[in-house]
Structure 1
Amino acid sequence: MVIGRHRNTRAIISLEAIKHNVATQISKLKDGQSLFAVVKANAYGHGMIPVAKAAKEAGANGFCVAIIDEGIALRESGIKDPILILGVNPASEAVCMAKHDLSVAVGTLEFLTEAQKLLQEEKQSLKIHLALDTGMGRIGFRNTEDLKEAVDFIEKHSDQLKCEGVFTHFSTADSKDPAYFEKQSQKFDELVGVLKKKPKYIHQANSATALWHPNFEGNLVRMGISMYGLNPSGDVIDETWNLEPALSLESELVAVKEVEAGSSIGYGATYTSSQLEWIGTVPIGYADGWLRRMQGFKVLIDGQYCEIVGRVCMDQFMVRLPKKYDLGTKVTLIGENNGKVITAQDVANYADTIHYEIMCNITERVPRIYK
């Protein structure tokens, strides 16, 4: 996708905030515990390579991605630390992953058997993290019998398959009710007990687990959304670490006009002015990730909340202004403006979604500016 470097819209990324959040998490670790920074999905929309380098500078020991290509991109950027691919990948790519020194999550014997043959042919070995499905229902071994069979196969083919880790993922670590979390944790302990020899990494802690269940088992934290300064629970549970949001989304007024009462604005004529009004145009739209359903939401201009009127267009939207503003006046969609703040959670609440989606929806057309 073409990046809109010559447009008046930008995402401002504070690498200092990333470093602060990583350092805060590291300060909470116990002896022998490590931190892997989760930088999948373009670092949750923040920019994978700059964020990874900032996290490493702050003390991260490794990285997690979702797909092979993300891991390769990190390697090509010069990163030599451990990289774990969390998503399901085809066994046909086993040699590719091995050659790039990428570790991979595995939850089926079928993957192991196919991968082993290919690795043997190419005289390669692949690092494996056994995924355990303790209640997420997504990927991983669900019972001790299947897990034992996989472990035995890995031991039999240790020249090609190296068991580097074992892990699970909690589905309710950000819930006020700990019952299901505890059920998953017990299941994890049961399954890990199958392993005759414990691997280097035993991990179950995502951001929410590290925040609200600090006595978690294992020696590795996968730091995801909290690294970007966002509360994993949204606004359900308070976080007390003073995380710093790393992303602000800004634009500018590119057109300002006065319209008479009865004027319709935007596609479908869904908004009609009730009196003489100032209307401003902002050059960001749903093609940039600013959802069409954000009609009626308020952005910040000169410290004033200004309502989005009419439908959000592909490349721009219109706002009702309290007065005439100069062209080029800053518009804040996420972040601080003259002492007032719009959070990613505010946007998510209005859009009836989660802040993860808001961040990831910001397309590559919006340039990332790092500071």
Structure 2
Amino acid sequence: MKSSPHRHTSAQVDLEAIKNNVQKFKQHIGSKPELWAVVKANAYGHGAVPVARAVKDLVAGFCVSNLDEAIELRQALLTQPILILSGIVPETIGIAANLNLTVTAPSLAWLKLVVQESIDFSRLKIHIAVDSGMGRIGVCDAQEANEMIALADQYGIEFEGIFTHFATADEADDQKFKAQQEKFAQIIEEISRRPRYVHSTNTAAALWHTEQVQDIERLGVSMYGLNPSGKVLNLPFEIEAALSLVSELTHVKKVTKGATLGYGATYEAEQETWIGTVSIGYADGWTREMQGFHVLVDGKFCEIVGRVSMDQMMIKLDQEYPLGTTVTLIGENQGKLITATDVAEWRKTINYEVLCLISDRVERVYL
């Protein structure tokens, strides 16, 4: 999808805020573990390459979701270690080896397919995934892990790491977290040898379970200034939200009492009302259920009225405003604030999803 810079709807990204958040995490977890920046899903909507370039001197490596995200970083001449967190298609393993990428080994069955490829395996590094209770990928016992280690050794593949992922580190109830922690620790005790990297801490674990941080801290959503628990748990230190979503008024009109607006005529004016049109819609990631929520204009909360369309939406104004007046969807406007978490609560989802859904059509502007 092509970015639309001429539309004056943009996601403004404060790279300095991201760098400050990384520095605060380094202070929080101490100097022993390496800090790897998670820039998957276009850096949670913030822009993978600009973010990676901004923090490259502050982190030891990067984590991405898939092979193509890793290729994007290498094409941007980023040379730090890159860990692909999901198992890649076995037939593409040669690309990963040639680009010096570290891949997740999700199972013995996957590794058996990988070693059938005709590549120089001495250039390949793997981290074995452990399913300690998340349920997505990974080995469930040390026996399978040991068979994978032996197979890697047979083909000259470097067994560089082993890791797991916590499902509930951002929740107040830590029963599930402790169970996963214990299972992972047991498997680490039983594997044939300890690799260079043993790691399990995502952002939430590093925030509220600092004692769990091992060789790598995988810093994700809070690098961008978001609380992974939403509003459930208080952060141990302050972080800065890095992204603001802004647009402007493209049309302003006064409608009469009884006028209906938008698809399905779901809004009817109760009295004569000023209505503004904003150039953003569900194709930009501002989804249809945002009807009834609000945005900020001139420091005032303005209700979104009528259904959100693919490319535009309408808002209820308190007065006439000139065309081009700033509309803030996420961020601060004259001392008032709408956060990604506020939007997430309205949508009954999480702040991660709100930012990841902002489409490529919305231009990213780096401050």
**Residues 17-71 of structure 1: per-residue CA shift (max 9 Å, x gap):** 10011111111233431010000000000000001111213x1110000010110
One-letter code of the match for 1:310?
G
Q: Say yes or no: does 1:98 pair with 2:93.
A: no
> Is contact 2:108-2:147 (8 Å) kept?
yes
For residues 107 and 66 of structure 1, the distance between their equivalents in structure 2, rounded to whole angstroms, comes to: 13
Q: Find the counterpart in structure 2 of residue 331 from structure 1.
A: 327
Give 1:152's aligned residue. Answer: 150
Q: Distance in 2 between matches of 1:137 and 1:100?
A: 29
Aligned-pair CA distance for 1:314:
0.5
Q: Is the 8 A contact 1:99 1:124 kept in 2?
A: no
Residue 124 (structure 1) shift: 5.0
Q: Which amino acid aligns with 1:110?
A: A
CA distance, structure 2, for counterparts of residue 252 and residue 324 of structure 1: 14
Most deviating of 299-308 and 211-220 = 211-220
In the TM superposition, what are the counterparts of 1:296-335 in structure 2 within 5 Å?
A: 296-335=292-331
* Residue 129 (structure 1) aligned with residue 127 (structure 2): yes
In the other structure, the counterpart of 2:34 is 34
Q: What CA distance in whole angstroms lies between the structure 1 residues aligned with 2:91 and 2:13?
A: 37
Amino acid at match of 1:75: R
Q: TM-score, normalised by structure 1?
A: 0.97
1:248 to 209, 234, 244: 244
One-letter amino acid of the structure 2 residue matched with residue 18 of structure 1? I
Unaligned runs of 5+ in 1: none
- Superimposed CA distance per residue, residues 249-305 of structure 1 (whole angstroms, 9 cap, x where no aligned partner): 000001000111111111111101011100000000000000000000010000000
Using the alignment, how far apart are the partners of 2:186 and 2:36 within structure 1? Answer: 24
8 Å CA contact 2:65–2:86 kept in 1: the answer is yes
Kept in 1: contact 2:46–2:243 (CA 8 A): yes
- Pair 1:12 & 2:12 matched: yes
2:278 equivalent in structure 1: 282
Q: Displacement, 1:176?
A: 0.5
| Preserved contact between residue 279 and residue 320 of structure 1 (Cα < 8 Å) | yes
**Aligned partner of residue 205 in structure 1, secondary structure:** coil
For 1:66 and 1:219, locate their aligned partners in 2 and report how far apart those are by CA, in whole Å: 20
Aligned: 1:54 with 2:50: no
1:132-171 deviation line (CA, Å, top 9, x unaligned): 00000110000122122112212222x2x11111000000
How many percent identity over aligned positions? 48
Give the match for residue 21 of structure 1: 21
Aligned to 1:363: 359
**Does structure 1 retain, via aligned residues, the 8 Å contact 2:162–2:195?**
yes
Cα distance 1:123–1:89, how it changes in 2: closer, same or farther (>3 A)?
closer
The alpha-carbon deviation at position 110 of structure 1 amounts to 1.9
Q: CA deviation at 1:217?
A: 4.5
Separation of aligned partners in 2, 1:241 and 1:29:
12
The separation in 2 between residues aligned to 1:143 and 1:197, in whole angstroms, is 15
The aligned residue for residue 76 of structure 1 is: 75
- CA offsets 1:218-264 (integer angstroms, 9 cap, x no match): 11100000101000101110112201000000000010001111111
Q: Which moved more, 1:227-236 or 1:28-37?
A: 28-37
- The count of residues paired between Structure 1 and Structure 2 equals 367
2:210 counterpart SS class: coil
Deviation, 1:199, is 1.1
CA distance in 2 between counterparts of 1:9 and 1:225 reads: 23
SS class of match (2:311): coil
Deviation at 1:122, TM superposition (A): 4.4
- Report if the CA contact (8 A) 1:147-1:194 is conserved: no
**What does residue 112 of structure 2 align with?**
113
Tell me the residue number matched to 1:227.
223
Alignment RMSD, CA only?
Answer: 1.1
Deviates more, 1:27-36 or 1:128-137: 27-36
State whether residues 38 and 64 of structure 2, in contact with CA within 8 Å, keep that contact through their aligned partners in structure 1: yes
Q: Where does residue 195 of structure 1 map in the other structure?
A: 191
Q: 5+ unaligned residues in a row in structure 2: which ranges?
A: none
- Per-residue displacement from partner, 1:62-121 (whole Å, max 9, x unpaired)? 0000010110110110111000000121111111110011101112112222222325x4
Deviation at 1:123, TM superposition (A): 5.8
One-letter identity of the residue aligned with 2:100: D
Distance in 1 between the 2:21 and 2:365 partners? 19
